[in-house]
Amino acid sequence: MSPADPAPAARDLQPLAPRPLDTRPLDPRPHRVTALVTGATAGIGRSFAVALARQGYDVVLVARDEQRLSDLAAQLKASYGVAVETLPADLADREALRRVEDRVADVDHPVDLLVNNAGFGLKRPFLDNDVEEEQAMLDVLVTAVMRLSHAALRAMVARGRGAVVNVSSVAGYLPRGTYSAAKAYVTSFTEWADLTYRDRGVRAMALLPGFTRTEFHDRMNVDPGSAPRWMWLDADRLVEEALADLAAGRRVSVPSRRYKALAFLARATPSSLQARFQGLGRR
């Protein structure tokens, strides 16, 4: 021991070098998970945003109405203490859609669950609508779903985990113009994605609601009385069942027994017969 060395006992008693206090809040979760929900300001998308925030997901809310987005963000932060981002965007607008794609693809702030839910329908038959209205519907129901799924699946497959829920419709099993054809695309595309990427740790599930009490029919100016009461589903229960189906590994979720039966019948019925039930060809 050199004379310069303090005796071992004295060295042990030396004060520890002061360290700055870590004042960051403690996060009990080892890995924060984030969900991005489109069409989060109303109906099924809003129910998804609330249910996921309740489960502890940080959420990114996408829709056009900025006021409703920030109201919901404040409510979710206050009720569940999660981080909430708002991303106002009209998904029929390619530039706005690109901003959402970029957020979904962001490697520094990964999106673990994408819910492609935004959508709307048109009341009038195909030839009575301006073709640009039909195009805008296709842009939101198909193009946005495809492009956001592309951004999400690419990032998720690279990470080896993640999930995409695409909100389709049982109407995709019926011949009913652009809306049904778009939903048929969404169901088929999502089944393919799940079959392709499941082995690489990434899930996809198509959610096929039947008539659900939301703003969808009001926005179309359709009287909810046009469908019998037993056919109407509750959005919160629908989402609860959908999330249970996702956790159970289902590829297609058709919430409620009545719509499971109706979807089975629709798939088993030739389209010419379905057309007769719907009175197609008479308008």
Binding site for ligand NAP (CB under 6 A): 39-45, 63-65, 68, 89-92, 117-120, 140, 167, 169, 209, 211-212, 214-216, 219
The CB density around residue 274, as the number of other CB atoms within 10 Å, is 16
Nearest Cα to 176, choosing from 40, 44, 271? 271
Active-site residue (options: 57, 77, 173, 183): 183
Phi, psi of 253 (to 5 degrees): -115, 120
Residue number with CB closer to ligand NAP (32 or 129): 129
| Closer Cβ to ligand NAP, 198 or 267, answer by number | 267
Active-site residue, selected from the candidate residues 57, 77, 173, 179: 179
CA distances to 93, 115, 218, 222, 230 from 168, rounded to whole Å, are 21, 11, 19, 20, 21
Rank residues 80 and 120 by Cβ distance to ligand NAP and give the closer one. 120
CB of 132 to ligand NAP, least distance (A): 13
Residue 257: CB minimum distance to ligand NAP, A:
17
Beta bridge partners of 61: 37, 86
Is 183 considered catalytic here? yes
Rank residues 200 and 278 by Cβ distance to ligand NAP and give the closer one: 278
Minimum distance of ligand NAP from residue 208's CB (angstroms): 7
- Could you confirm whether 57 is annotated as catalytic? no
Q: At residue 164, what are phi and psi to the nearest 5 degrees?
A: -125, 130
105 contact partners, CB below 8 Å, separation of at least 6: 151, 152, 154, 155
Helices and strands (H and E) in the chain: how many: 11, 9
Catalytic residues: 179, 183
